[in-house]
Homo-oligomer: A and B are copies of this chain.
Amino acid sequence: MISWNNFDTLNVYQELMNVERVALADVMSGESGAERVKNYSVPMADGLAFNYAARPVDDAVLAVLAKLAKEAQLVEKFEELYNGAVINTGENRLVLHHLTRGQLGSTVVADGVDKRAFYVEQQEKIRTFANKVHAGEITNAAGEKFTTVVQIGIGGSDLGPRAMYLAMENWAKVNNTFKMKAEFISNVDPDDAAAVLNNIDVAHALFVLVSKSGTTLETLTNESFVKDALEKAGLDPAKHMVAVTSETSPLAKNEGYLAAFFMDDYIGGRYSSTSAVGGAVLSLAFGPEIFDAFLAGAAEEDALSKNAELLENPAMLDALIGVYERNVLGYPTTAVLPYSQGLSRFPAHLQQLDMESNGKSVNRFGEPVNYVTGPVIFGEPGTNGQHSFYQLLHQGTDIVPLQFVGFKNNQMEKDVVIQGSTSQQKLCANVVAQIVAFACGKADDNRNKNFEGGRPSSIIIGEQLNPKSLGALLAHFENKVMFQGFVWNLNSFDQEGVQLGKVLAKRVLAHETDGALKAYSELLNI
């Protein structure tokens, strides 16, 4: 029997608050540090490993976190979720994104449909469509092949697919699976669509319009912008557009689109990269087999999240250490720092994933909670970040826990030896150096050159960023956020906080305003 209880009502809560703190700089020094690096590591899918040696835990803290996992019934709640319980209580919805990449538990039937079969069916429709586009069987009106795919979507329909595209683009080029360049239009700022249209050959562009409801204002506005451009170029928009939407939306079964691929209400936007939302654009860009590999990596990682043993469940472990850092140690932000240029927009995706899921002040029953929940998430790729905001991370007055990602090999198989090492070795040497610098610091009589240390981090290490490891990486963070939501007793799958702004924006556009709204509107000439 599952109990949904607030974090601070759990028996283990006080124990966690009182467990002896770890002196990170001490335990990470000398042989003790080497031992931690060897032992504090959990295998992930596709040969990845989650290494938490430099997080502020020891066996005593981990034992309490294991109790927390058990008392909070984390894997049982995950089981409920993938077996089709109404986990998104506020919107009375199932939460089924895991089913887009595998069958973790029982068959889930909703609305009279086997949902796993439904998602697989959409993938097969996309596969057939993408193969026909690549084979030149589906073409523009002049019978010419499409060369570019442009995703029109915002939020989860943009950030995740864009980050995944960038993470695989160069790998695909080197591995000869690159089919079509992808571009993305998201912002309602008309300069966004205009700039993308300026850079492409619209006559050979296929647009993927992504809106679950078929009513997202930004997306429909950008669709009109694009249709105008197509018409002005003497082209028929209906020959250049596909839709990714729900079966009940006005975009489904609509003659204005070459095809429609379906998602449903059980997949939140920020969890939709493995659904048709990511599937259409990524299959068109790289071929359906590459998208399959991406899904396989995610499925393999999901399976690990079922493990009740904390030290064998990397997402749950990452989640609970994060809770410890947030609620016990009081750190308000977390940085995501991938040492791979391909992951340049992965932090922006995790920013949405995490902050939109767990940036909440009420529990899943709508009652205020008495503890802090999701942290602010930010990040940029290393080594770029080192020459930017790392100064604050090393010597600022606040401590920011860090999540590094690093790979032994680069994606493009081109490298150069300077001063006895390759660029890839330099990249890896930098992330190693940073972890130890943050954890151990370095005393200096000149306080301006003194490093306190005690700044925690973990690193996910892999062989190479490729479609499968990317899928595993994505699933890891999705499941981490889910487990944290369970601990905080939140509904991580709604986003009521975005509604008020939408309502007020409509009033502004309708000039139904007074007070500050009206005064600001005048300043901006609306």
Q: A387-B155, A448-B496, A498-B390 are in contact. Are A425 and B192 (CB under 8 A)?
A: no
Copies in the complex: 2
Q: What are the residues of chain B within 8 A of A432 when measuring CB–CB?
A: 504-505, 508, 517, 520-521, 524, 526
User: A103-114 CB contact bits vs B (8 Å, 1 = yes)?
Assistant: 000000000000
Closest residue on chain B to residue A518 by CB atoms = B34
Q: What are the residues of chain B within 8 A of A376 when measuring CB–CB?
A: 333, 376, 378, 389, 392, 398, 400
User: A359-399 CB contact bits vs B (8 Å, 1 = yes)?
Assistant: 11110001111011111111011111011111111111110
B384 lies within 8 A of A37 (CB):
no
- Asked if A158 is at the interface (CB within 8 A of a chain B CB), the reply is yes
- State in angstroms the CA–CA spacing of A405 and B21 once bound together: 42
Query: Please, how many residues of chain A have a CB less than 8 angstroms from a CB on the other chain?
Result: 161
- Asked if A201 is at the interface (CB within 8 A of a chain B CB), the reply is no
What's the minimum C-beta distance from A119 to chain B, rounded to whole angstroms? 23
- Asked if A436 is at the interface (CB within 8 A of a chain B CB), the reply is yes
A373 lies within 8 A of B356 (CB):
no
What's the minimum C-beta distance from A512 to chain B, rounded to whole angstroms? 11
- State in angstroms the CA–CA spacing of A228 and B414 once bound together: 11
Q: A388-B159, A388-B351, A396-B360 are in contact. Are A189 and B521 (CB under 8 A)?
A: no
Q: A408-B525, A435-B520, A517-B436 are in contact. Are A449 and B173 (CB under 8 A)?
A: no
B361 lies within 8 A of A396 (CB):
yes
Q: A53-B516, A428-B525 are in contact. Are A447 and B362 (CB under 8 A)?
A: yes
- Asked if A439 is at the interface (CB within 8 A of a chain B CB), the reply is yes
Q: A198-B173, A440-B516 are in contact. Are A187 and B448 (CB under 8 A)?
A: no
- State in angstroms the CA–CA spacing of A154 and B380 once bound together: 13
**The one of B31, B221, B269 that contacts A423, using a Cβ cutoff of 8 Å:** B221
Q: What are the residues of chain B within 8 A of A170 when measuring CB–CB?
A: 191, 194-195, 198
- Extra contacts, 15 of them, besides A190-B415, A356-B391, A376-B400 (Cβ < 8 A), are A28-B516, A29-B515, A189-B427, A190-B427, A191-B341, A191-B411, A224-B418, A225-B414, A332-B333, A332-B398, A355-B391, A393-B497, A426-B509, A432-B520, A436-B516
Q: List 26 A-B contacts (CB under 8 A).
A: A30-B514, A36-B516, A54-B516, A187-B341, A187-B381, A187-B427, A189-B340, A189-B423, A190-B423, A221-B416, A221-B426, A225-B416, A333-B333, A355-B392, A361-B452, A374-B396, A378-B378, A391-B497, A395-B497, A429-B505, A429-B509, A432-B505, A433-B505, A433-B517, A437-B501, A461-B524
